[in-house]
Amino acid sequence: MLADRPPFEDLYRDYLGRIYAYVRAQVSSSADAEDITAQVFMNAYQAYGRFEARNTSPVAWLFRIARNATTDHFRAHGRRERLRRTIEHQPLAFDDPSRMAEERLQYRALLDHVARLPERQRDSIALRHSGLTFEEVGVLMSCTEDAAKMLYHRGLKALRDSVHKEGE
């Protein structure tokens, strides 16, 4: 094992939760998320002998595999599934029913606004909110760190503008 490359078991233990959370936010069911996450780590394990830490960080490498596996899942299941998962994905709420209903409506409205963003802006927001640095987001999206920041901030601005415009 190379000194600059941690044992695979450490990567699995340290990043399983983050990778699952990222994938789960993208797909409609926990079963799909579990299957895709398992595929991510199987692919990573098989390719770990070729991984070179000098080219990218282990977490960015894993998220690239996760992003590719999620994309493959959507290609296999079509765009309809992606739209359905965006609409159906709901946060957990433990308040009174009327408040839960209001939060659900607000959340669906926000997801509708997010779904209207260009794909690269959506991806930059999802990756950034999965805990990646802008540098790691840039590596995953094949752009510079500054371009990743730009995509993220333009996406947030577009969301704010869209929500504000609807509220008028």
Taking residues 5-14, what's their average pLDDT?
A: 88
Last-in-domain residue among 68, 89, 110: 89
Q: Is there a single domain that holds both residue 85 and residue 107?
A: no
Last residue of some domain: 89, 123, 147? 89
Mean pLDDT (the chain, rounded): 81
pLDDT tens for each residue of 40-91 = 999 999 998 888 777 778 888 898 899 899 888 877 776 555 555 555 654 5
The total of other beta-carbon atoms located within 10 Å of residue 93's CB is 14
Confidence band of 94 (pLDDT split at 50, 70, 90): low
* Total-model pTM: 0.57
The residue range of the domain holding 98 is 91-168
Question: For residues 152 and 168, what is the distance between their CA atoms, to the nearest angstrom?
Answer: 25
Stretch among 96-105, 117-126, 154-163 having the lowest mean pLDDT: 96-105
pLDDT digits (tens, 9 = 90+) for 116-137: 889 899 888 888 888 788 988 8
CB 53 within 8 A of CB 5: yes
User: pLDDT tier at 104 (50, 70, 90 boundaries)?
Assistant: confident
Q: Which of 74, 89, 104 is the last residue of a domain?
A: 89
**Pairwise CA distance, residues 52 & 5, whole Å:** 7
pLDDT of 96: 67
Whether 111 and 38 share a structural domain = no
Residues 54 and 101 in one domain: no
What single string gives the DSSP state of each residue in 75-119? HHHHHHHHHHHHHH------S-HHHHHHHHHHHHHHHHHHHTS-H
My answer on whether 50 and 102 are in the same domain is: no
Asked if 44 and 98 sit in the same domain, the reply is no
Buried b (16+ CB within 10 A) or exposed e, 64-77: bbbbebbeebeeee
Q: How many residues does the chain have?
A: 168
Mean pLDDT across 29-41? 91
Q: Is the pLDDT of residue 36 over 70?
A: yes
Q: Among residues of the chain, what percentage have pLDDT more than 90?
A: 25
